[in-house]
């Protein structure tokens, strides 16, 4: 089992920039299994929330706390992701929650500029020692609303967040000057690419005005030392049963039905 999947230069890049983009985090066969599962998953789609942006465009968002015995859980518990997260956050991590975000062609909505810690802070997490990985189910381009990040913005600390449309967004009075100081990066990704990003990194995405869908799987993690001091709708420290990387193909090939209990919370729907 490879407990050190990332290089020292990748870790340094994450610490400096607040994100790390890895092409081919999932291989071609794993991507095909994920695409088949996600698009054929009626239970997941029925559980999806319809989240609207300030223009009224909507994105489907399914949200669950604990990784199940399906392909989503196999990915979230895979050694390449869990141990990579532990290298980036320098501690044991546990699964905080996962999300499937579905931006459909022409109608998929935008996501406001935000930090994930802007709302996880309200869940009793005292430190921003948390991170997520966005895995591209489809090709992500500027045209279909790929994730945008402000390079290095995670170093500015937590920004106050408020409601914009049906979403939680960062205070524009802070975001605008940061746009002048931090490089704006459009994270163009091929299917299977993974974007690891710090909980304080400012990120957003535009609406999908293209003819191509833009779906993504997000797996979010907290550190053991950051175990929340109070209960919320997301779990406290729960040890992860890490799976070998080959389990993704094994589980995906069985077509196991999802076993998650889906959430319909309104306070942390924002995502890439």
% of residues, the chain, pLDDT over 90: 82
Nearest-angstrom CA–CA distance, 127 and 143: 35
* Average pLDDT, integer, range 82-110: 96
Rounded Cα distance between 2 and 80, Å, is 7
Other CB atoms closer than 10 Å to residue 177's CB: what's the count?
11
Q: Which tokens sit at 213?
A: 């869908």
Q: What is the mean pLDDT of residues 191-213?
A: 97
Quick one: pLDDT band at residue 56, thresholds 50, 70, 90?
Answer: confident
Domain limits, the chain:
8-254
- Answer whether residue 267 shows pLDDT above 70: no
- Top pLDDT among 272 and 145 is at 145
What was the pLDDT predicted at 258? Answer: 58
Share of the chain above pLDDT 70, in %: 93
Q: What pTM does this model have?
A: 0.95
- Residue ranges of E strands in the chain: 19-22, 49-52, 58-64, 93-103, 111-114, 130-136, 147-150, 161-164, 167-170, 184-186, 194-198, 203-205, 214-223
Confidence of residue 216 (pLDDT cuts 50, 70, 90): very high
Q: Mean pLDDT lowest for which of 23-27, 29-33, 60-64? A: 60-64
Name which of 153, 58, 143 is nearest 114 in CA terms. Answer: 153
CA distance 111 to 58: 10
Rounded distance between C-alpha atoms, residue 263 and residue 260, angstroms? 9
Is residue 153 within 8 A of residue 97, CB to CB? The reply is no
Rounded to whole angstroms, how far apart are CA atoms 224 and 236? 9
Q: Quick one: 8-254 is in which CATH superfamily?
A: q2cbj1_9rhob like domain (2.60.120.620)
Give me the residues paired with residue 198 across strands: 131
Nearest to 100 by CA among 166, 55, 49, 154: 49
Mean pLDDT of 204-227: 97
**Which helix (H) or strand (E) is 17 found in, with range?**
helix 8-17
Which segments within 1-153 are labelled E, that is strand?
19-22, 49-52, 58-64, 93-103, 111-114, 130-136, 147-150
Q: Is the pLDDT at 260 greater than 80, yes or no?
A: no
């Amino acid at each position: 089992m490879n407990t050190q999947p990332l290089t020292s230069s990748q870790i340094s890049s994450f610490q400096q920039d607040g994100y790390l983009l890895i092409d081919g985090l999932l291989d071609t066969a794993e991507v095909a299994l994920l695409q088949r599962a996600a698009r054929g998953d009626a239970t997941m789609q029925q559980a999806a929330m319809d989240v609207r942006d300030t223009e009224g465009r909507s994105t489907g968002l399914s949200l669950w706390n604990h990784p199940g015995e399906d392909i989503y859980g196999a990915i979230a518990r895979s050694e390449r992701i869990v141990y990579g997260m532990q290298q980036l956050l320098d501690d044991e991590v546990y699964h905080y929650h996962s999300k499937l975000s579905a931006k459909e062609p022409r109608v998929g909505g935008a996501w406001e500029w935000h930090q994930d810690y802007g709302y996880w802070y309200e869940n009793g997490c005292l430190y921003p020692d948390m991170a997520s990985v966005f895995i591209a189910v489809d090709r992500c381009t500027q045209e279909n609303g790929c994730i945008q990040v402000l390079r290095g913005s995670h170093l500015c600390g937590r920004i106050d967040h408020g409601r914009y449309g049906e979403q939680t967004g960062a205070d524009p009075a802070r975001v605008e000057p940061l746009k002048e100081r931090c490089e704006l990066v459009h994270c163009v990704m091929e299917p299977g690419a993974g974007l690891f990003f710090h909980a304080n990194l400012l990120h957003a995405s535009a609406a999908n005005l293209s003819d191509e869908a833009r779906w993504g799987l997000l797996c979010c993690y907290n550190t053991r030392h950051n175990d929340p001091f109070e209960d919320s709708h997301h779990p406290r420290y729960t040890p992860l049963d890490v799976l070998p990387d080959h389990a993704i193909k094994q589980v995906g090939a069985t077509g196991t039905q999802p076993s998650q209990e889906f959430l319909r919370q309104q306070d942390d729907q924002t995502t890439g």
